Amino acid sequence: MTIKEVSEKFGISQDTLRYYERVGMIPPVTRSSGGIRNYQEEDLGWVELAKCMRNAGLPVEAMIEYVKLTQEGDSTFAARLQLLTEQREALLEQKEKIAATIKRLDHKIRRYEDAVKTGVLSWENN
């Protein structure tokens, strides 16, 4: 697939795809004999993973480290497991904070819904 096709498939810009490759968030993309990017299934898998991880807030540096470890081979299984486990834990902590914030917002929304109905906003339990 061309970079344009991959850009359209994943909904990310061609510049972002080039950036992912340049900084090492994805391994070097397969190229044609003329040097044009020619994304193969394996390349697409890396793009999909990078997009997923970035959407979840995974730091660029962690993704770069993961790609580097993968390229070093099977001897890095433990290091990759640790990296992914740490990122998962960080996401779970973030998820808990988001859940608490949503709960707080739900409370506030209910108060304002009541205020809209009654014309009075209770300031108890802000």
Same domain, 35 and 59: yes
pLDDT per residue, tens digit, the chain (126 aa), is: 999 999 999 999 999 999 999 999 999 999 999 999 999 999 999 999 999 999 988 899 999 999 999 999 999 999 999 999 999 999 999 999 999 999 999 999 999 999 999 999 977 656
Domain C-terminal end among 72, 99, 115: 72
Same domain, 120 and 60: no
Q: CA-CA distance, 31 to 126, in Å (whole number)?
A: 59
Our count of domains for the chain comes to 2
Place of tokens 């999909």: 48
Q: How far apart are the first and last CA of the chain?
A: 54
Q: Which domain holds residue 64?
A: 1-72
Q: CA-CA distance, 25 to 15, in Å (whole number)?
A: 13
pTM score of the predicted model: 0.80
Same domain, 55 and 92: no
Q: CA-CA distance, 37 to 54, in Å (whole number)?
A: 22
